[in-house]
Amino acid sequence: MSLRVAVAAPFIQNGTRRLKENEFVVALSLDRDWFSPDQATRLIDVATGEGLLERGDDGLAVTFDPGEVTVPEDFAPDEDLLRERSAFERVLDSLVAEGTAKQEAVGAINTLQQELGLTIEAAAVVYARREGVDVDELAPVARDAVLDTEDG
């Protein structure tokens, strides 16, 4: 997943699991020339929202082992990393990363959504769990989507 690679790169570069926000921004904007400083700051927001980073008084902490991530030499992140992804997109990315064909997953999720009368997010979480893919961090997001639908 390229978001994970983009987030891991500054931590790998600095050999640490904690960085000040400005160090993270400098690593992505000046050192690597991947993003503008504003875009790098936006990436922090997206990565925090997806649980890859945690903000604290002492800066940013990565929530996964950056040492397990490989940053390909020719890697250049796409700007679409800067937009918030829906729970559905995040589950779909997890399924694809585990080897499920994207079209197969989308078709199965759509079928499940219709059969069970669920939101697309909830159906995606159910499908992923049935496939043995860990998406527990997205279950509350899917649940909230169901509750928002019921309230609306």
For 28-67, write each residue's pLDDT tens digit. Answer: 999 999 999 999 999 999 898 888 999 998 899 999 999 9
Is residue 29 in a domain? Answer: yes
Average pLDDT over residues 62-79: 89
The answer on pLDDT for 152 being more than 70 is no
Is residue 149 in a domain? Answer: no
Asked if 59 and 127 sit in the same domain, the reply is no
pLDDT-derived band at 139 (thresholds 50, 70, 90) equals confident
- Distance CA(123)–CA(7), nearest Å, equals 28
Asked if 61 and 75 sit in the same domain, the reply is yes
Which residue segment(s) compose the domain that 124 sits in?
85-143
Asked if 62 and 98 sit in the same domain, the reply is no
Least confident of 3-17, 38-52, 81-95: 81-95
pTM value is 0.65
Asked if 26 and 62 sit in the same domain, the reply is yes
Average pLDDT over residues 67-89: 84
Asked if 108 and 72 sit in the same domain, the reply is no
Instruction: Give which of 12, 59, 58 is closest to 31, Cα–Cα.
Output: 12
- Tally the domains of the chain: 2
Q: What are phi and psi of 53, to 5 degrees?
A: -130, 150
Asked if 15 and 40 sit in the same domain, the reply is yes
Asked if 92 and 74 sit in the same domain, the reply is no
Is residue 152 in a domain? Answer: no
Asked if 89 and 139 sit in the same domain, the reply is yes
Asked if 60 and 90 sit in the same domain, the reply is no
Asked if 66 and 121 sit in the same domain, the reply is no
pLDDT-derived band at 146 (thresholds 50, 70, 90) equals low
**What pLDDT is stored for residue 133 in this prediction?**
87
**What pLDDT is stored for residue 82 in this prediction?**
83
What percent of the chain stands above pLDDT 70? Answer: 92
Per-position b or e across 68-89, b if 16+ CB within 10 A of its CB: ebeeeeeeebeeebbeebebbe
- Contact, 59 vs 19, CB < 8 A? yes
